[in-house]
Amino acid sequence: MKKIFLLLFCIFLCSSTVMAKGNNIDIEFDNGIYHIILKGEKIKKKIKVYASEDLKTNKEIHQAANSILTINAGFFDPSNGKTISYVVMDGQTMEDPIMNENLLSNKFLNKNLNKILNRTEFRIVDCYGKLKYEMVPHNTKEDFECYVKEAVQGGPLILPELRLEEELFIVKDGDKIIRESSSVLHKTSRTVLGLKDGELHILIITDDNPMDMYEVQELCKKLGFERAMGLDGGSSTSFDYKNEISVISQKGDGAGRRLKSFIYIKK
């Protein structure tokens, strides 16, 4: 009887880590981390980036778009609701951080504007009708006759190297860190994108296993990612899948934080 109980417990434990499988989407949950894999070429056509005119919760966008899966994306300014990240939708730049007056009026940010504007972005690029993923600095030019179909900026780049200073997530005075943004050096929840063998991976690192960016980098290495980047995290970390999974960080009233931009997969 004891052996049967242990066997049943093992089966339950192992199966419970597989949250979903289908629609070219695999979702596993382990140790407080959702690992989502978007497989194959067909799903690339279904991935959309969206920027809301007014701040919305992840669940609101998920329901309004009637999407399969929705996650939070780029950085925004909670004081005025304007973007701090570039957003491209259907080949058109819909959000430009240079239009955020708070970036221009702040002397320190204005002085370092080039670093903010050139942070890493996730792209879906169309080359002769064939789609590919990219994670590159914003100023990176496309190959001839290719264009950016969908894109959202985030940062920092995590792999192949961690670009905290280059993207103004930390500022140093000699060896001393005098400024930090997005809690990159502190443990918090995270939304992370990774590329491996041409497939897109999403990590939703929940409040149950918060990580600093160096720990995230080690996790991405362990998972074998070739490239990886962060999106907005902390209290912005959000994830909805169908009507089956809903994750928000620092729940408060349970509604989730209101956000500016999103990545979703249409049906």
pLDDT at 218: 98
**Radius of gyration (Cα) for the chain, nearest Å?**
19
Residue 53 located in a structural domain: yes
- pLDDT tens-digit map of 5-22: 333 334 334 444 888 888
Residue 160 located in a structural domain: yes
Residue 197 located in a structural domain: yes
pLDDT at 253: 61
User: pLDDT band at 55, cuts 50/70/90?
Assistant: very high
pTM: 0.92
Among 18-22, 223-227, 238-242, the minimum mean pLDDT is found in 18-22
Mean pLDDT of 101-119: 97
Residue 218 located in a structural domain: yes
- pLDDT tens-digit map of 139-188: 999 989 999 999 999 999 999 999 999 999 999 999 999 999 999 999 99
Mean pLDDT of 106-121: 97
- pLDDT tens-digit map of 60-105: 999 999 999 999 999 999 999 999 999 999 999 999 999 999 999 9
What contacts 77, CB < 8 A, 6 or more positions away? 83, 84, 100, 102, 103
The single residue listed with the structure tokens 């960080």 is: 249
Residue 15 located in a structural domain: no
Are the beta carbons of 41 and 131 closer than 8 angstroms? Answer: yes
Residue 8 located in a structural domain: no
- Quote the number of domains for the chain: 1
pLDDT at 250: 79
pLDDT at 254: 62
Q: Which is more confident, 55 or 253?
A: 55
Domain region containing 134: 22-265
DSSP the chain: -HHHHHHHHHHHHHHHTEEEEETTEEEEEETTEEEEEE-TTGGGGGEEEEEEEEEE-HHHHHHHHT-SEEEE-S-EETTTTEESS-EEETTEEEE-GGG-HHHHHSHHHHHTHHHHHT-EEEEEEEETTEEEEEEEETTPPPPTTEEEEEEEE---EEESS--TTTTTSEEEETTEEEEE-TTTTS-B-EEEEEEETTEEEEEEE-TTS-B-HHHHHHHHHHTT-SEEEE-S-GGG-EEEETTTEEEESS-TTTT---EEEEEEE--
Residue 2 located in a structural domain: no
- Model confidence at 251: pLDDT above 80: no
